[in-house]
Structure 1
Amino acid sequence: MFSPVQSKPRLDLDSTDHAIIELLQQDGRASVAQLARAISMSPSATADRVRRLTDGGVITGYSVTVDPEALGYTVTAFVRLAYPTGNYKPFHDLADSLPEVIEAHHVTGADCFIIKVLARSMRDLERITGRLATLGGITTNVVYSSPVPSRHITPA
């Protein structure tokens, strides 16, 4: 389910917190013992830091990164949707029913949503965009390549 942006109180992060965040972004499977060795702290103090970062909403989860093509998704596209109403429930319901929709962002400007879609083929992309077009006008951009596919986030 999509939720509106909410302001949370920020944790005060120090260089040790930054190091933990960087290490976990490089290897989310790193054990507490490995993290502790890398930052020169005890495992219990490191576990406390990770717990504080998680409880404070800085670390929001752990995941594995996969190659979409290895799973049969050969086409990546961004679909801009000009949604004509303020009732977003139909959009949320449709996005939830399409596993090929891997990101959706409510944005400013002429379009209401920018949606990242993975498809098995151009025909599959046509099926997906046809479903999205039932909600409003769409513009589709197919990705040729991604020179910067994803970056780790550094503290602001």
Structure 2
Amino acid sequence: MRNDLKKEDAHLDGIDTRLIELLYDNARTPVTELARAVGMTAPSVNERLRRLEESGVIAHYRVEVNPAALGYGLMAIVRMRQLPGKMKELEAQINSIAEIVECDKVTGDDCYIARLYLKDISELDPILDSISELADTNTAIVKSTPVKRRLLV
């Protein structure tokens, strides 16, 4: 992937946008099927995909795992405000907790906002206890997700 391209260099036309939408829905869609969906030849679609990858527009192809299917029935959001001088320790602790699947370093009153999955509510306290010497926390259990991660194109 070329990192020297500027964002304005990545111009998306309607075909690029449609290809990205199709791959977002199913990253394993065969090139022949993508080509048929956009009315192009497979080699032309391959070239477009290569260009989208090189420009950084397409960064990864991923599998999406359903946490509930693995027994993780609860999702929690934990906001953390590090205690003085504990930033590096807190970040290391966050990285060591397998249940934390995503974490953002943010501005404002909090320093980090983490999303984690639990099999049972009893798993929450030990995780929070492991953080409590490094940060003040505020936790919310997610009831539903009205807006799932969505495509920006």
Q: Normalising to structure 2: TM-score of the pair?
A: 0.87
- Look up the match of 2:43: 44
Residue type matched to 2:6 in 1?
P
Q: Does the aligned pair in 2 maintain the 1:18–1:154 contact within 8 Å?
A: no
- Look up the match of 2:58: 59
Residue type matched to 1:118 in 2?
Y
Deviation (angstroms), 1:47: 0.6
Residue type matched to 1:154 in 2?
L
5+ long unaligned stretches in structure 2: none
Classify the secondary structure of the residue corresponding to 1:59. coil
Classify the secondary structure of the residue corresponding to 1:95. helix
User: Within 5 Å, which residues of 2 pair with 1:100-139?
Assistant: 100-139=99-138
Q: Does the aligned pair in 2 maintain the 1:32–1:46 contact within 8 Å?
A: yes
Structure 1 residues 138, 53: closer, same or farther in 2, change over 3 A?
A: same
Residue type matched to 1:114 in 2?
I
Q: CA RMSD in A?
A: 1.8
Question: Distance between the aligned counterparts of 1:85 and 1:21, measured in 2?
Answer: 44
Classify the secondary structure of the residue corresponding to 2:104. strand
5+ long unaligned stretches in structure 1: 1-7
1:70-92 CA-to-partner distances (Å, cap 9, x unmatched) read 11112110000002357743233
Number of equivalences = 147
Structure 1 residues 98, 152: closer, same or farther in 2, change over 3 A?
A: same
Identical aligned residues as a percent: 35
Indicate the larger mover: 46-55 or 127-136. Answer: 127-136
